[in-house]
Structure 1
Amino acid sequence: MKLPIYLYGHPVLRRESAEITPDYPELQKLVDDMWETMYYSEGCGLAAPQIGRNDRIVVIDGSAVAEHFPDCKDRKFTLINPVIEVLEGDTVTRDEGCLSLPDLSEAVPRVEHIRLTWVDENFEPHEEEISGFLARIVQHECDHLEGKLYIDHISPIRRQLIRGKLNNIITGKKRVDYPVRYAPKKK
């Protein structure tokens, strides 16, 4: 089932997410719905807070960007309770976008090399060193689990420059081609 994407300004995007346990109700249905939602919205990753759930679940499929970033080819994950360890290496600045911030992109500095530990939807443990653009996608999606957005990594001046666009999202003036939930209206 296609679920609505929660847009910038909605409080759910700023809350820290809770760990998932094996007895989580209807986990496989939630994961399947997240995949369907991500593909329908033409994303390469989706975190549970983006569908209104503060749970530590992320889905990623790098194939959408594999033409430009070969390290993403055939890289598809369901990450439950992911933990990132930053490894030695360079920080690279690249443009990022987000389904929760439609039609915006900003240059964001991120490390290029991480170690990722997680369990899959069957609660099988995994650990992998990941580099390049795939590491960026993982960091971006895992930031959502901490209540962070990519714009938290840009300078205050850049945030000021895009404030009008952010306000258009918050006030519901920004329209997109996928189902969304806007921030609650302030009274």
Structure 2
Amino acid sequence: MTFTLIAINIVAFFLEQHDPNLFIGLFALWPPSPAVAAVAADEPIFHVWQLLSYSALHANPTHLLFNMFGLYVFGREVEHTIGYVRVAALYVASVVSGALVQIAVSLASTHSYPTIGASAGVFGLLVSYAMLFPHRRVVLLFPPIPMPAWVFATGYALFELFLGASGEEVDVAHFAHIGGMLGAIALMVYWSRSRRHSWLD
């Protein structure tokens, strides 16, 4: 499933290059407008499928590369432990919860811009990895500092919260990242409380 998700993102990225404006307008996550009737016919608006489709679009090859690297590193380990069906469920839950949190923040602020990228799903897999392997060492790329997975995930979450609250990077969906982590945590906790999922006992 991890490689399937990577393939979907890569294919979607190349399709996006044929007509970026069309794909962004239809499939990026646009905040719902309180006055839809007043929106011009050619102006992008929110559609329910954008809660999922936004994750398959990326701004550039670097954006895609970093997300696919994270998806590969954390996704394959989580999938090996809990199976491909649950990894798919985790990814979708993270993407959708990230979208919902991002929409809520957008509606509460003065900024309104489209959200794209698989980061919410990747952050969901990151926190799932940390919950499954809390003491396994993870090494930062820049700088290369090894640390326990739970420290890495917690530090990243706090960093994203700080950046989102500061409002300095309005073009980065920091709250979608946090929402993705929250969605994954909720699903992992739900599974851990079910006796059918002995892999978390």
> Is the shorter-chain TM-score for this pair beyond 0.5, marking a shared fold?
no
TM-score, normalised via structure 2 length: 0.30
Bigger fraction of residues in helix:
2
- The structure with more radius of gyration: 2
- Ranked by relative contact order (alpha carbons within 8 Å, sequence separation 6 or more), the top structure is 1
Bigger fraction of residues in strand:
1
